[in-house]
Amino acid sequence: MNKKNCENVLKTARFLSPRIGQCISTKAVGKFEREDITHEYKHLERTKEEREVMLRALRQCRDVFSRYYLNDDLEDVQFEFTLLDDIVIGEPFTVKLKALNKKDEGDEFTVNVSLHVHSALYTGESKKLIKRDEFQIKLGPGVEQEMTMRLEYAEYEKSLVDQCAFLISAMAHVEETGFDYCAQDDFRVRMPDIAIQVDGEIVQNQPITVTATLTNPLPKPLKGGEFIIEGPGFGKPTKLKMKSNIPPGEDAKVKCKLTPTTPGCKAVIAKFRSKELEDVDGYHTIYVKECSDVQKDNNCHL
């Protein structure tokens, strides 16, 4: 499509549905006045009768855009899709879909639901189906039901790809009305935090003690663990290998000495990797005093 054609493309700005189909008129009998007969041709806007007529028309229309109007405002079954996120790797997570029959009386609806979890690339493209659950429920008047799919670490462990991302989707079909619902969301399980503690007065050219602590979030031991402690102005990175495996829920803790060579605001950075866990990091901001600031107290030793 060339630039000229792109400029001529129309897009929807807003809908003014209540302004359409108003003031249907005829000449009043026996006098030269307008008589409004709109009510003889259509029900009042937003009334129950008008919504039923609109819904029937949309369902019979074959235009693809009519499906966008078949939304929760018109449909008798309302859906709400939720994902319980902020999950640390190793923890289970849950996908939920609620369905509500908005009618107070009358019809019962049969709803078929399908929940899916795919692993996803950093681009958002789905990679592999990890789990799929299907449900069929009956919704009586005013009834709300919740469908839940729980995914354990053992189920998604071997399917993790870039940045531990997932693509979650929910699809539902109401048999009696033909209404289709679809929702999609993506999220990541996050890595655990590394806690960093710095002891001692932080002065240029004087060593400080750095302690890094990580809690194993996985339901299995971490093998071959290694910490890397570094930061700008601290020289070469310090590598500290763990002497033993880290059991589930237990802490891995290391200590080392770093010497800041330049003053100012610095970040102490800690990284951890093992055979089971990678790309774990944390940082702690410190302020390094200049030697001249503490020479009066004889605390600076070059």
20 contact partners, CB below 8 Å, separation of at least 6: none
Calpha distance 73→48 (Å, rounded)? 11
pLDDT for 15 equals 58
134 contact partners, CB below 8 Å, separation of at least 6: 112, 113, 114, 115
Backbone angles phi, psi at 135, to 5 degrees: -135, 150
pLDDT for 217 equals 95
pLDDT for 293 equals 58
pLDDT for 182 equals 86
Mark the ranges of the chain whose per-residue pLDDT is less than 50.
1-6, 13, 72, 302
Calpha distance 54→69 (Å, rounded)? 10
The CA angle 159-133-66, to the nearest 5 degrees, is 110
Calpha distance 185→292 (Å, rounded)? 55
Confidence (pTM): 0.66
Q: Which domains does the chain have, with CATH numbers?
A: 11-74 (no CATH), 75-190 (2.60.40.10), 195-288 (2.60.40.10)
- Give Cα 243 distance to the centre of its chain: 38
217 contact partners, CB below 8 Å, separation of at least 6: 88, 89, 90, 91, 192, 277
Report the C-alpha dihedral over residues 252, 257, 261, 262, rounded to 10 degrees: 40
- pLDDT tens, 79-110? 999 887 788 999 999 999 999 998 888 889 99
Calpha distance 84→169 (Å, rounded)? 13
Per the CB < 8 A criterion, the answer to whether 218 and 89 are in contact is yes
- pLDDT tens, 10-65? 555 455 566 677 788 898 888 778 898 888 888 777 677 877 777 777 667 665 55
Per the CB < 8 A criterion, the answer to whether 227 and 239 are in contact is yes
Helix (H, G, I), strand (E, B) or coil at 81: strand
Closest CA to 212 of 222, 198, 231: 198
CB-CB neighbours of 28 under 10 Å: 11
pLDDT for 272 equals 96
